Amino acid sequence: MDPNRRQPLPDRRIEDYALIGDTQTAALVSTDGSIDWLCLPRFDSPACFAALLGTDDNGHWRLRPRDGSARSTRHYRGDTLVLETEWSTPSGSVRVIDFMPPRDVAPDVVRIVEGISGTVSMRSELRLRFDYGHVVPWVRQVDGQIVAIAGPDSVALRSDVHQYGRDFATYADFEVSAGDRAWFVLTWHPSHLPPPTPTDALAALKPTESYWSEWIGRSTDAGEMSEEVTRSLLTLKALTYTPSGGIVAAPTTSLPEALGGGRNWDYRFCWLRDATMTLAALLRSGFTEEAQAWRDWLLRAIAGSPSALQIMYGVTGERRLPEFEAPWLPGFGGSAPVRIGNAAADQLQLDVFGEVMDVLALARETRIGPSDDAWAMQSGLMRHLGDVWHLPDEGIWEVRGARQQFTYSKVMAWVAFDRAARAVERFGMSGPAKQWRATADEIHRQVCAEGFDAERNTFTQAYGSKALDASVLLIPQVGFLPPGDPRVVGTVEAVRAELGSDGFVRRYLTDDVDDGLPDHEGTFLICSFWLADALAMIGRVGEARDLYAKLVALRNDVGLLAEEYDPVARRMLGNFPQAFSHLGLVNTAWHLNTTTTDTPLRRSAY
Ligand SMILES: OC[C@H]1O[C@H](O[C@H]2O[C@H](CO)[C@@H](O)[C@H](O)[C@H]2O)[C@H](O)[C@@H](O)[C@@H]1O
């Protein structure tokens, strides 16, 4: 056995990965041709490939030339999630096409190898490890296919090239000459059921391409969108769990926010905050079907007492997301612990009320129209918010230190009351508009008195605190104060000066704030997009455009962004690809397109 296989892969970077998916789960493919992350059958199912968070022994599927000196370049085929990796070797070149066909019954991963020139010796090395990389399955050859079974999981590999077993892995060694094609299909099914009808690898390619290109073609902006906006929208769609309409924050767990540190979290769930902001981005681009599906998802997920509202749910609305550590996984680059599940589900985060009310207002006032059920749910939320808005909470950043009176939480409580009152005042919905307006005014006065540091002319992270927080950059965007207000301009300048790093923005300084965690983290990409939005709103459009360009340049070779960026090490950090970062990009592009050098932006959510 190769001794290196037990070591965490040292040179790997988060940005080495590309995403393929079928809108129910997703896989990450490395520049080395290895699928190192795949959860089956759903985003939040246990991974059968977890080398991303450990070593090859935690499960992976590498398909590449045997020649170690081979070099690869890659791209998506057009506006799709079909990944094409081209390999050059001294003896010839090949193309590997990786994709997950839109799901009918069972999830498939298809890999097609095409010879471009000369002859190339290829190797497929498949190491399945169920339950997040530690269960070695029982593997047999059945009817010409490889079948791996352990517990609830069964995975079959079919191919037109010969497979053999060695060292608890399955290999295929084969040659591909110009014009040749070889194919592999990996299919999951529940181990107690008969296997599904096999997928035809070659025939599945065209429909998969059409699925993605037809989807993006449905945008009202189709044909006018920049390449980076198109790729971000495709990525947001890939993070949507189509059967329910839920949207995950990212398809990974525990990609570190501090390399080698413990800031490692599971993002394979639906946060009301991340999902509402995603929805605003999709709505702006004309994707009403997703907006409708998400509103229905929300109604189901939060049905019941508004006091039992959670800030996040599973992809079909599950409430219990218990957090535990996976000690058998050493973590990406040794960043431990790896966490599965997310204890933030039990936190109080008041901002979600504002985010939900705001996006539902956007939906009502723009494209998907009012709904009685949706309004009944919003009225219930407002009754509950009336009881709790004054409480300290864990805030937008889900701190694991003590609860505080976070300024952004209160600003968003104001947004919730403002949008509720506006629905009655301007759109004829029924409800106690006067009471809602009075509460909104009370919160406004309180935030301006207690969340603002008059000496430094900036809003602060929490009442009475000196610490700054990038979330208050959203104050003009949500309409709490006009962009021209000197307190807004002062806040933009202070955040930029104190939280800025190489032009990007940290969410707060970990030294100034007790977030319950020891190490430092990188700059937070959505906060950097918010700075660009805020700069544009206060009339500094040139600087906003420069920052947007700088952020776009951070994307990896296939246009993807993680949650954070470390400007010193010049590498991405955090879960990947992250909805927050990509929706930030779409929204900033939209803001910049709706402004000119001398016209301030019109008010909009996010
Ligand atoms: O920083 C500590 C927290 O980090 C995660 O939360 C972050 O990701 C969420 C999903 O994108 C986002 O909604 C939140 O604003 C971010 O702070 C993690 O999920 C939390 O468990 C953790 O406490």
Whether the Cβ atoms of residue 405 and residue 463 lie closer than 8 Å to each other: yes
Strand 246-247 with 145-150, pairing? unpaired
Ligand 1 binding pocket includes 576 (Cβ within 6 Å)? no
Q: 């010193």: which residue's tokens?
A: 568
Ligand 1 binding pocket includes 550 (Cβ within 6 Å)? no
pLDDT at residue 505, as a whole number: 97
Residue in 82, 96, 105, 75 with CA at minimum distance from that of residue 215: 82
Beta bridge pairs of residue 138 = 149
Ligand 1 binding pocket includes 396 (Cβ within 6 Å)? yes
Neighbour tally for 227: CB within 10 Å: 11
Distance from C-alpha of 219 to C-alpha of 285, rounded to nearest angstrom: 6
Query: Exposed, middle or buried by CB within 10 Å (0-12, 13-18, 19+), for 321?
Result: buried
Nearest CA to ligand 1 atom 14: 397
Q: 């999981």: which residue's tokens?
A: 153
Nearest CA to ligand 1 atom 18: 265
| Interval 37-53: pLDDT, tens | 999 999 999 999 999 99
Tokens of 252: 């990974």
pLDDT at residue 1, as a whole number: 38
Tokens of 191: 């181990």
Q: Say which DSSP state 101 is in.
A: P
The CATH fold of domain 218-593: Glycosyltransferase (1.50.10)
Ligand 1 binding pocket includes 276 (Cβ within 6 Å)? no
Nearest CA to ligand 1 atom 17: 397
Q: Which residues of the chain have pLDDT under 50?
A: 1-8, 597-604, 606
Q: Please give the distance of CA 107 from its chain centroid, rounded to a whole number.
A: 20
- List strand residue ranges (DSSP E) for 305-394, in order: 312-313, 324-325, 339-340
Ligand 1 binding pocket includes 436 (Cβ within 6 Å)? no
Distance from C-alpha of 138 to C-alpha of 142, rounded to nearest angstrom: 12
Angstrom distances, CA of residue 61 to CA of 28, 36, 546, 576: 11, 7, 40, 19
Q: Where in the chain are all domains bearing CATH 1.50.10.10? A: 218-593
Q: pTM value?
A: 0.95
Q: How many helices (H) and strands (E) does the chain have?
A: 13, 28
Tokens of 408: 């952004």
Q: Where in the chain are all domains bearing CATH 2.70.98.10? A: 3-213
CATH no., domain 3-213: 2.70.98.10
398 C-alpha to ligand 1 centroid (Å): 5
| Interval 140-197: pLDDT, tens | 999 889 999 999 999 999 999 999 999 999 999 999 999 999 999 999 999 999 999 9
Whether the Cβ atoms of residue 291 and residue 367 lie closer than 8 Å to each other: yes
Q: Is the link from the previous residue into 577 a cis peptide, with omega within 30 of 0?
A: yes
Ligand 1 binding pocket includes 398 (Cβ within 6 Å)? yes
Helix (H, G, I), strand (E, B) or coil at 6: helix
pLDDT at residue 373, as a whole number: 81
pLDDT at residue 4, as a whole number: 39
Angstrom distances, CA of residue 429 to CA of 352, 353, 366, 372, 419: 21, 18, 15, 9, 11
485 C-alpha to ligand 1 centroid (Å): 30
